[in-house]
Amino acid sequence: MRTKNFIIAIVLGGALAAGIFVAASINKPAELQTAFVVPSPAELPAFALQDQYGEPVTADTFRGQWDLVFFGFTNCPDICPTTLQILANAKLELQNIGAGAIPRVVFISVDPERDTPEILGRYVDYFGAANLGVTGTLPELVKLTTALGIFFEKAPTDDGNYGVDHSAAVLVINPEGQFSALFSAPHTIANYVHDLPIIMDVN
Amino acid sequence: MPPVRLSILGAIFVFAVLSACDGDAEPPLIATAIIINESVPGKAMSAGYLSLRNTTHDEISISRVSSPEFGAVEIHESLLQDGVAKMRRVEKLLIPANSTVSLEPGGKHLMLMLPIGAPENISLNFYNDETLQLSVQASLTRSKH
């Protein structure tokens, strides 16, 4: 009899502990895995670039939707396609889980000398028809990269050509057109699927 | 007597050839997980990835890769330094004894440049200086889009 009561006590105690644990998990705010949220979202500077259709791109272009912004160049066979493919797959996953908002992917060229709107267009379209490609003049590009803390620099190759070293982070721009969060490389689909809904709910 | 000697030499030669073709012996270098991405429209370059397993007790070095389907093939490495992505040429790919070296996205990779025509099936030849170490065949991997 005593043993039976003891077992009942253990079972009840276990159930109570489990209940407390579940309640605690539900009330606990979701935590970001890898993204860094900017404490006070930053306005974009004034700049004038253009998209793959030759249309102007300014700070206003980034208002009205969530944007994932990646800087790169089209003569980049590994990091840039890999990152754009991860962002495309993350968008698909977000659609599959019914996320409230699906961000737009924006690829900004740090090689405006070679990346004409036409070349850039074919490149970004390959990773998703809704993608925005941005290029323009070097001084206008530098206005934007400087304000966002994005580094880029030409790296000459043996054959007299060049690559471009560039920051590998993906920036999140909120619908008010403010830089509000950042994903550092290396990027994974899971990190975006986990963190983006949290970021997009907070703002 | 000379004819007898010759036949003994001939027998040794045949034996040596048979040993080299022994079906149970592993080749010194084995390629797996081969992915050759199609080039993005408008770009005359793409990336190739594979794993190379050295089954021998000696280091194998790859100093040159060629392909009849591409004007140039180089081994490159993407590096992430203080948040900055960089790409540098790898002069010699070293595969330590009894080890595997993986070429994968975001790390070492083959940079396939100047495609000849629109290749679907690709041959890759891996050399140490002028000595052929491995030949592999692969078909082009198309994007899901």
How many domains, chain B?
A: 1
In the structure encoding, which two tokens stand for residue A122, read together? 């074919």
Sort out which chain A residues have CB atoms less than 8 A from B106's CB and list them: 78-79, 82, 185-186
Mind listing the pLDDT tens digit for each residue in A187-202?
A: 999 999 999 999 998 5
pLDDT tens digit at each of 203 positions of chain A: 455 565 555 555 555 555 555 444 444 457 999 999 999 999 999 999 999 999 999 999 999 999 999 999 999 989 999 999 999 999 999 999 999 899 999 999 999 999 999 999 999 999 999 999 999 999 999 999 999 999 999 999 888 899 999 999 999 999 999 999 999 999 999 999 999 999 998 54
User: H-helix or E-strand containing A126?
Assistant: helix A117-126
In a domain, B114, yes or no: yes
**Total-model pTM:** 0.82
In chain B, which residue's Cα lies nearest the Cα of A82? Answer: B105
How many other C-beta atoms are found inside a 10 Å radius of the C-beta of residue A76? 24
Sort out which chain B residues have CB atoms less than 8 A from A118's CB and list them: 42
Say what the ipTM of the complex is. Answer: 0.80
For residue B10, give the CATH number of its domain: 2.60.40.1890
User: Do the Cβ atoms of A122 and A84 come closer than 8 Å?
Assistant: no
CA–CA distance, A107 with A84 (Å, rounded to integer)? 8
Sign of CA dihedral A159, A165, A171, A175: negative
In this prediction, the residues of chain B whose per-residue pLDDT falls under 50 are 1-20, 145
Residue ranges making up the domain that contains B44: 3-139
How does DSSP assign B100-139, residue by residue?
Answer: EEEE-TTSEEEEEEEESS--SEEEEEEEETTEEEEEEEEE
In a domain, B111, yes or no: yes
In the structure encoding, which two tokens stand for residue A160, read together? 């007299």
In a domain, B58, yes or no: yes
Angle at A174 between CA A133 and CA B84, to 5 degrees: 55
Interface mutation vs chain B, best among A52, A71, A78, most B CBs within 10 Å: A78
What is the model's pLDDT at position A142?
A: 98
CA–CA distance, A68 with A4 (Å, rounded to integer)? 60
In a domain, B144, yes or no: no
Side-chain-side CA neighbours of A179 within 13 Å: the count stands at: 20
In a domain, B88, yes or no: yes
Interface of B with A in 91-130 (CB under 8 A): 105-106, 109, 111-112
Burial class (CB in 10 A: 0-12, 13-18, 19+), B138: middle
Sign of CA dihedral A86, A89, A93, A98: positive
What is the model's pLDDT at position A13?
A: 55
CA–CA distance, B102 with B109 (Å, rounded to integer)? 9
In a domain, B68, yes or no: yes
In chain A, which residue's Cα lies nearest the Cα of B37? Answer: A77
In a domain, B145, yes or no: no
